[in-house]
Amino acid sequence: EIVLTQSPGTLSLSPGERATLSCRASQSVSSSFLAWYQQKPGQAPRLLIHGASSRATGIPDRFSGSGSGTDFTLTISRLEPEDFAVYYCQQYGSSSWTFGQGTKVEIK
C-alpha cells in the first residue's frame, strides 16, 4: 500500500498570501493518479485537483497542482478567506486508494 505523507501539518498564513502544500508518496504514483481535496468543518470534502494537475469543474484558477512520481504540490496562489480549511491528497494504484493525513491551512 502506498503511504502519503503531507507537510506541513499546519500552515498559518494571511489572506492574500501564497500557500504551498506538499504530498510525498512512499512509492511512485502511477499515471499521476494523484488528487487533492478541500474539507471545511462539518462539510464533505470537495475535489480540487485530479491527475496531479487538472482542476475539477468549478475550481478557481488560484488552485494549481503539480508534481509526478513521489512528490506532489498543491499551490494556492492568493489565499481567499474561504480557502482556510483542511486539504488532503489522495492516490490510486493497484486497486487501492489512500489519503494523506491532511494539512490544515489556518488564518495567521
Within 8 A by CB and 6+ apart from 65, the residues are 34, 36, 48, 49, 52, 53, 54, 55, 72, 73, 74, 75
Residue closer to another protein by CB (options 14, 57) is 57
Residue 14 to residue 88: CA distance in whole angstroms? 20
Residue closer to another protein by CB (options 10, 18) is 10
Binding mask of the shown chain, residues 41 to 70, with x at each position contacting another protein by CB under 8 A: ---xxxx--xx----xx-------------
Give the nearest distance from C-beta 103 to another protein in angstroms: 11
- Three-class secondary structure of residue 106 per DSSP: strand
CA atoms within 13 A on the CB side of 72: 34
Among 16, 40, 101, 108, binds another protein (CB under 8 A): 101
Binding site for another protein (CB under 8 A): 1, 31, 33, 35, 37, 39, 44-47, 50-51, 56-57, 88, 90, 92, 95-102
